[in-house]
Amino acid sequence: MKNWSKVPLCVLPTPIHRLDRISEQLGSDTWIKRDDLTGFALGGNKGRKLEYLMAEAMAQNATAIVSCGASQSNFIRQLGAAAQMCGMHCAVATMESPYESLDRKVSGAFSRGGNRDLDELCGVDRREFADGTWADLKAHAEQLQFELERNGEKVFRIPLGGSSPSAVHAFVEAGREIQKQVDFAFDWIITASSSGSTHIGLAHAFRDSQTQVLGISADPEPEIVDDLIDLSQSYADEVGTHSLSREEIKFSLDFVGAGYGIPSSAGQAATRILMKSEGIALDPIYSAKAFSALLSLVSTNQLEGRILFWHTGGIPALFAKPG
Ligand SMILES: Cc1ncc(COP(=O)(O)O)c(C=O)c1O
């Protein structure tokens, strides 16, 4: 069994509480897990992953971290701060709006302001590239790694969104955290999903239980399910368990709207509803779309029982503007 070590970064456990007004409006029993309040570098789900990723980087005596992401990446913001705290240089390749293939290219991403402005504060060495595919973006990160290595750095490379077995482990632990906070089981957990480790970690934590974990995709590509299966497999290989099957990975592409990085009108409406009912903000790219899914699926009786909305944060992107 792998021995996971971690660098403490987050304020844990994050609160969990019932959404009384939302529950009343929907005629449901709806709760929220406040990973928007992880506290590290403005909060969000990525802090949990970074606790384990930074410990791995330190164990390898890394002097620099290299990663990549879209220009509004919440991961990059938090990664920059974590690297600074661990005394490492953090260099990332970014694009305004990466896409899967040219026929799926979309325009209108909110690429200015928000996280992009905070990256400098968090010590990120951003290298901006013209829009291309996600594969192009990863290739730029690889070149960046070679550049740093030529300059004598020992580089620890982190995949998009931090999604690796350690990041999955972070969310297996997060799932266990709620088992200590409440003495009942949820029927459903709804979370935003993109690079996948939040969703897959929670799905591993609750497999073989009454709780079903539903990932609401922020990306339009159906092929992403294959990446989720691969991620589950790589985690399972590390811990000596079996991976999640395609049927065990519950995933919806129905709430993406126009595309990755573009706010949806249902998400914007959901943001107003949650803010006015409970005083809780959502981000336009991930959590707003996931909460719009919750509202839609509960009101059409597709989600029943006790429901937990896993708030993944991302609030700085609320202040992003069209590019
Ligand atoms: C605010 C927010 N929510 C959800 C996600 C999705 O998490 P994951 O990449 O683990 O699927 C991300 C990251 O991309 C995010 O920044």
The predicted pLDDT at position 100 comes to 85
Domain boundaries, the chain: 16-45+163-321, 46-161
Best probe residue, ligand 1, of 286, 315, 319 (max atoms within 8 Å of C-beta): 286
Query: Which pLDDT does position 106 carry in this prediction?
Result: 81
How would you classify the pairing of strands 124-129 and 89-95?
Answer: parallel
Q: What is the pTM of this model?
A: 0.97
Residues of the chain under the 70 pLDDT cut: 1
Question: Ligand 1 centre from 212 Cα, in Å?
Answer: 19
Query: Is residue 77 lining ligand 1, measured as CB closer than 6 Å?
Result: no
* Pairing mode of beta strands 112-113, 320-321: antiparallel
H or E segment and range at residue 75: helix 74-85
User: Can you give the pLDDT at residue 2?
Assistant: 78
Which class would CATH give 46-161? alpha beta
* CATH number listed for the domain at residues 16-45+163-321: 3.40.50.1100
Q: Where are the alpha helices (DSSP H) in 154-261?
A: 165-181, 197-205, 224-239
Q: 276 burial class (0-12, 13-18, 19+ CB within 10 angstroms)?
A: exposed
Cβ–ligand 1 contact at 71 (below 6 Å)? no
What is the predicted pLDDT for the residue at 294? Answer: 98
Q: What is the pLDDT of residue 1?
A: 66
Q: What is the pLDDT of residue 101?
A: 83
16-45+163-321 and 46-161 have identical folds: yes
